[in-house]
A and B are shown apart, each in its own frame.
Chain A
Amino acid sequence: MPNYRIHKTEYIDETKRVSFKYDGKTYFGYEGDTLASALLANGIHLVGRSFKYHRPRGIVSCGAEEPNAICQIGSKKDLTEPNVRATELELYEGLEASSQNCWPNVKFDIGGINNFISPLIPAGFYYKTFMWPKSFWKKVYEPLIRLSAGLGKSPTEPDPDIYDHKYVHYDVLVIGGGVSGIIAAKMAAKNNFKTLLVDDKKILGGSTIYQNNESIKIDDKLSSEWLKNEIQEIKKLSNLSIKTRTSIAAYHGYNFLLAKENLTDHLPEEKKENKIRQRLWKIRAKKVVIATGSIERPLVFNNNDRPGILLSNSINKYLDYYGVTCGENIILFTNNDSAYETSISLHKKGIKNIIVDLRKSASSELIKQAESLGIKIYFNHVVTNTFGYRKINSLEIMKLSEDGNTTVGNKIKLSCDCLGMSGGWTPMVHMHTQSGGKLDFRDEDQVFLPKENSEDQISVGSCNGDFDLENIIDKTVNKINKFLDIDNQDYQDTNIICSKENDKRNIWLLPNKIPLGKTKCFIDFQNDSTAKDIKLALKEGFRSIEHVKRYTTTGMATDQGKLSNMHALGIIADTAGVKMGTLGTTTFRPPFTPLTFGTLVGRNVGKFFEVVRKTSMHEWHVKNNAEFENVGQWKRPWYYPKNGENMHDAVQRESKAARDSAGILDASTLGKIDIQGSDASEFLNRVYTNAWSKLAIGKCRYGLMLNEDGMVYDDGVTTRISENHYLMTTTTGGAANVLSKLEDYLQTEWPELDVYLTSVTDHYSTASICGPNSKKILNKLFPNLDLSDENFPHMSFKEDKLENINCRIMRISFTGEQSYEINIESKYGHSLWKMCIEAGKEFNLTPYGTETMHLLRAEKGFIIVGQDTDGTMTPSDLQMDWIVSKKKFDFIGKRSLYRSDTVREDRKQLVGLLTDDPKEILEEGAQIVSNVKSKPIDMLGHVTSSYFSPNLNKSIALAVVRSGKTMKGQKLIIPMENKNINVTVSDTIFLDKENKRLNA
């Protein structure tokens, strides 16, 4: 097996050999490697196929910007992870990785045929091709596209890993642990700012940490040696926290940032167990220093995507940090000085290399150094083509014309096994723009830079466009002193020597003799968009960068165009003949690198996904086989099946029992608001549609609450407990909103009212007993209470004790039966319930759930707010005009009741529906029409509630129908999929219109 690890470095522990599998084959690397560096050490460049043309692709970079080396990690159904960047994944014993987007394998990939038919699949291919015939979309095109779409494979089972969230507050957050970040963090921490420094790598130091060029020195030391001392020093600072393997995902307003910390991804399987995998840090910082650095640009020329073509600086990092050379015969193609550092480094390790430089000439310390080492340099030359299928083996260069627009002279063919490219540097302005910052364009080296920095945020180092070390350190020190309003002298006497770049030449799309249409000049490696695609988009009329991006998909892959966006912009600017700075950029959206869903969700999975509220009787319901329904966050018994009953049978039995003898319902979940104060009556007058001043103490009244727009908002029974004390009940789902609404009016519109509101929903448990035998059961529970209709009539309230515990008993009814609601402090709720059940045994007291409750109230035509209403129903629409006071001067929503729209007679109004076939049960939500033949069919309304009533032995329904109030007796039709159901409009009250049962 070839070995490209050519020297030892302090970052690779050669005593710790690590075995891993790639595409099923076992390889070895060392602790300290990334998957990418270990693959390169084994001579593997080819790691995937491109998305569209399935071209062989190799590792391009050494960091977060990697477009090609994205892998599928692991093979377990619950733990496999797609699209992991091999350049960031630290190697661990037992790692299993495989290449993506290829079949049957990366070396022989059937999809590679797309490369040869590429002229047939230009930009916008999908939009242009899959247009007709229309019927083909759903059955043919979409399934085919879906089959070929997507890069990796998602896990198919729930993620067993543990994730965590944590909030932290700091005075200063420094993003990025390169040279400028380290200086900023040190200055802040030494001046008493509580500081956090985060970096996405395993160790601090950025690209300076492996810098070993003799021409770049700080205080007479190699810059890497100097920086190591600095790192040792900041580790001692007590008010500096350092988080490595932590990347900022998002920078929101008010300096609120999200960071993902990798805790176990670098550990072998057995050490990952039971540990938190990733933690999402939610950081608030008073001030933020952005020191995220810059990434090297590729160059755009024909066949610039072959395996073995990397960014020049990445070749340098693989060499000096990992000890791995990317080839043995390397060519570096550049438009700036930084490739010379790589060249000199390679030369010193004995790796043969030559330089092809776009610039006509260049002079700087680095260039002199390279020249003196005898490194061959082709100035004013350009790479025009590359060769080699699975790896580059040679290339052609040509001389550039004076203006750089074309090539001249003869082709020179050079052999190589690796090509490094350097198109200059792009400052990482992601964080700055995510936080709302704007950008400026610097023409000189064609970079977007952070515009103004706000008082609580600053960019330093190369992300601010400061590229050479002297510039970086001097500017960082000055800016941080000013930013933090301190006078730190630590770097006053720091002596920096570095090479200064004097010459620049940038060409976004490099010239070629071959017509553009026949070249493959890749811009976005991951999404396979080429210079040709960009030009085509412009030709077809696209102008906005946002449109070109979407049409060509440039920058839309998992790498979000970190390497491609600038070239796309540059080519658009050149083609359209406009200045690049005027084009603007596409939006930099979070996250910076993809986040796992697990990290975002944290601990809120499984039973912690949502809060569950249970009544104190819950345990009894569970023991007695209840099926539950979610109402808001509450778990309410839905029905109690017995002996294998289905829902329909259980509900029929429960409903019949409630009317024939007695039923009991857990009504604890209804919202309860305690209202006290000398203006409590006046307050109720203003919030309900009916009058409250004359309600006697000890009496209950039903109230309807509207929104200011006149639409029904909530309803419930309120009891006057004493002169200035009421207990209001609300719907279960509306409780929190009603309280908020009442508080809003009290605090903002009527602060003069002396009223205090307290939510007591959780304080009381409620058992509601109804039916002809309910009075007898109550009598057993409260033998001393006079239950006669004279003493304790319908809509009244008594207090009594149950075994010394106070109970509030309301005689109110939502079923139309004689009915008592017993309220007791929640801790006694379970006992109360059991005592009720015990006392009711001889009367066949039957527990019933929400479904039976709904049926029983529908028989009586009582509405459920939210089921029979939808925020567009007035009291009059509900045929409840009786509850709207004509005398009251004002109440919430009163004025809206006679707006021109609310007095319309053809509004949808609540009616009853009876099916011609009494056994036919309508579907809730079904549309109602009068004529199925007209086209379009005029839809009159819809069914809101529908049940089979065991007490009436027929199907009943409530519905809202246009002008329904005037339609009693009229025949209507409910058209269903297979048949039309004939119905007759009826009264909304189906049972006991005279309310005889209330006092039976």
Chain B
Amino acid sequence: MFLINCPFCGERDQSEFSSGGEAHIVRPKQPTELSDDEWAEYLFMRKNIKGIQFERWNHVHGCRKWFNVVRDTSNDKILSVYKMGEKPPVNYK
């Protein structure tokens, strides 16, 4: 079970959090302008990486804040956490 360093509360047990899938998928500003394929790309298509993955997590049984996590899915190590709206750390690609 992970230990997640909530950027607002500090290190907490994974059972306090819920995962929200891939991070940095921005909701299109003008969905009506998009073709079915483009909208489907936003709506359905997600990466499933072995290696370094950017994820959204929510401290749902805590401060209820959403934030981003960089996790290596091959060993489950969390490499970095950062707040919503912040740019991902540059050393992870």
- A binding-site residues for B, Cβ under 8 Å: 252-254, 256, 284, 436, 708-709, 740, 743-744, 747-749, 751, 889-890, 894-896, 899-900
Contact = CB atoms under 8 A, between A and B. Distances in A.
Interface in B75-89: 75-76, 84-85
B46 interface: no
A287 to B, nearest CB: 14
B3 A748 contact: no
A894 B27 CA distance: 12
Interface in B16-59: 18, 20, 26-28, 30-32, 34, 36, 39-40, 43, 56, 58
Nearest to B64: A743
B45 to A, nearest CB: 13
Contact of A708 (B2, B43, B56, B85): B43
A748 B31 contact: no
Contacts of B13: 284
A637 B83 CA distance: 44
B3 A284 contact: yes
A252 B3 CA distance: 11
A180 to B, nearest CB: 27
B32 A900 contact: no
A436 B32 contact: no
A254 B56 CA distance: 19
B60 interface: yes
B65 A747 contact: yes
10 contacts: A256-B3, A436-B76, A709-B43, A743-B64, A747-B66, A748-B56, A749-B27, A751-B85, A895-B31, A899-B36
A743 B1 CA distance: 25
B1 A253 contact: yes
Contacts of B32: 889-890, 894-895
B31 A890 contact: yes
Contacts of B64: 743
A895 B65 contact: no
A748 B84 contact: yes
Nearest to B26: A749
A894 B42 CA distance: 14
Identify which of A284, A436, A743, A747 gathers the most chain B CB atoms within 10 Å of its CB.
Answer: A747
Contacts of B28: 895
Contacts of B75: 436
B2 A740 contact: no
Nearest to B85: A751
A896 B39 contact: yes
A254 B5 CA distance: 12
Contact of A740 (B34, B40, B58, B85): B58
Identify which of B1, B34, B40, B85 gathers the most chain A CB atoms within 10 Å of its CB.
Answer: B1
Contacts of B43: 708-709, 896
A744 B20 contact: yes
A475 B75 CA distance: 28
Of all A-B residue pairs in the complex, the 5 with the closest CB atoms, nearest first, are A895-B31, A256-B1, A747-B66, A749-B27, A254-B3
Identify which of B31, B56, B84 gathers the most chain A CB atoms within 10 Å of its CB.
Answer: B31
Interface residues of B, number: 27
Contacts of B20: 744
A743 to B, nearest CB: 6
Nearest to B40: A899
Contacts, number: 52
A894 B31 contact: yes
Contacts of A436: 75-76
A6 B20 CA distance: 66
A899 B18 CA distance: 30
Contacts of A256: 1, 3
B2 A253 contact: yes
Nearest to B83: A747
Contacts of A896: 39, 43
B59 to A, nearest CB: 11
Contacts of B76: 253-254, 436
Contacts of B65: 747
Nearest to B23: A748
A165 to B, nearest CB: 12
Nearest to B66: A747
A885 B65 CA distance: 31
Contacts of A895: 28, 31-32, 34, 39
Contacts of B60: 740
Contacts of A900: 36
A254 B18 CA distance: 17
A709 B45 CA distance: 13
B87 to A, nearest CB: 15
B18 to A, nearest CB: 8
Nearest to B32: A895
Contacts of A894: 31-32
A740 B58 CA distance: 9
A160 B32 CA distance: 62
Nearest to A709: B43
B1 A254 contact: yes
A114 to B, nearest CB: 44
B84 A747 contact: yes
A748 B34 contact: no
A249 B30 CA distance: 53
A252 B13 CA distance: 13
Contacts of B18: 740
A22 to B, nearest CB: 42
A90 B30 CA distance: 71
Contacts of A709: 43
Contact of B1 (A252, A740, A747): A252
Given A284-B13, A896-B43, 6 more contacts: A740-B18, A740-B58, A744-B58, A749-B27, A751-B85, A890-B30
Contacts of B39: 895-896, 899
A963 to B, nearest CB: 22
Contacts of B30: 890
Contacts of B2: 253-254
B7 to A, nearest CB: 12
A890 B30 CA distance: 8
Contacts of A890: 30-32
A743 B58 CA distance: 10
Contacts of A899: 36, 39-40
B1 A751 contact: no
B84 to A, nearest CB: 5
Nearest to A436: B75
B33 to A, nearest CB: 9
Given A436-B75, A890-B31, A899-B39, A744 B3 contact: no
A254 B2 CA distance: 6
B28 to A, nearest CB: 8
B22 to A, nearest CB: 12
A751 B84 contact: yes
A160 B27 CA distance: 54
A169 to B, nearest CB: 10
Contacts of A748: 56, 66, 84
Contacts of B27: 708, 749
Nearest to A253: B76
A749 B29 CA distance: 10
A938 B39 CA distance: 33
Contacts of A284: 3, 13
B31 A744 contact: no
Identify which of A894, A895, A896 gathers the most chain B CB atoms within 10 Å of its CB.
Answer: A895
A749 B20 CA distance: 13
Nearest to B3: A254
A751 B86 CA distance: 12
A896 B39 CA distance: 8
Nearest to A895: B31
Nearest to B68: A748
A748 B65 CA distance: 10
Nearest to B18: A740
Contacts of A747: 65-66, 84
Contacts of B84: 747-748, 751
A740 B65 CA distance: 10
A693 to B, nearest CB: 19
A280 to B, nearest CB: 14
B36 to A, nearest CB: 5
